[in-house]
Amino acid sequence: MIENKVIAITGASSGIGWATALHLAQRGASVVLGAQTEAGLTKLVEDIKSKGGRATHCVVDVRERTDLLRLVSRATDVYGRFDALFSNAGVMPIGPMADLDVEGWQQMVDVNVKGVLHGIAAALPVFQKQGFGQFINTASTAARKTVPDQVVYSATKAAVLAISDGLRQELAGRIRVSVISPGFTDTGFVEHVKSPELRKQMKEASGRFAMSPETVAKAVAYLVDQPDEVNIGEIILRSTAQA
């Protein structure tokens, strides 16, 4: 059941996070939205409320553990309960290893990996006290198959898989832990790429076979909608045109 659940989403101001917030709100969930962009969050909350949905927000930088604590507190303070955390915030400043973009590598580790860990640290005590809850973490098909120019990005997403499955095993029988692993999706991630040539290639690829964020949102909803005694460990989805 999705109706009346309280679900927090990071990276909610665009892409998969935005689409998932709209979709879950339409299905009757109360959504608590976190992202770095205040204007984007405000617009999304207004959009959801104009359609009869329930939403609130707070500015969140997932690199800061205190921001995730604030997001979880927002959920319990406003709605009195907390059912799921969708740790979706991510960055993708990909490029050849030989470019030695150490700053970009650090950014991917801090957001893609530490952001998930900070979410776990914030939500787990609440879930344990309640006796129920669900983590949904965004990985990627890149976690399963790396290619040139995406080595560090793939490594961070593989880490999300390992963290999530280990946590699932530790919490078996009490709290659900799931991973969503999308293939190429039409989000703003291409703009993270610093190389103009590589960015052009990614945009061309997006035009050929990228999925819509709404497709991924429906998969997230499927994870949430399972009976409490069912845990789907991972959903891998990609467009039929993606090899």
Is 153 tagged catalytic? yes
Q: Which of 79, 135, 153, 189 is catalytic?
A: 153
Q: To which residue do tokens 């959920």 refer?
A: 75
Query: Which is nearest to 86 in space by CA: 129, 23, 145, 141?
Result: 23
* Residue 147 token pair: 């290619």
Residues 6+ apart with CB under 8 A from 55: 21, 25, 30, 31, 32, 33, 44, 45, 48, 49
Give strand ranges (E) for the chain.
Answer: 6-10, 30-35, 54-59, 84-87, 134-138, 176-182, 234-237
Rounded CA-CA distance 134/117 in Å is 14
Strands of the sheet with 134-138, listed across from one edge: 54-59, 30-35, 6-10, 84-87, 134-138, 176-182, 234-237
Query: Which is nearest to 242 in space by CA: 201, 155, 182, 199?
Result: 182
* Cβ contact 7:86 at 8 Å: yes
Q: Is 198 exposed, middle or buried (0-12, 13-18, 19+ CB in 10 A)?
A: middle
Active site residues: 153
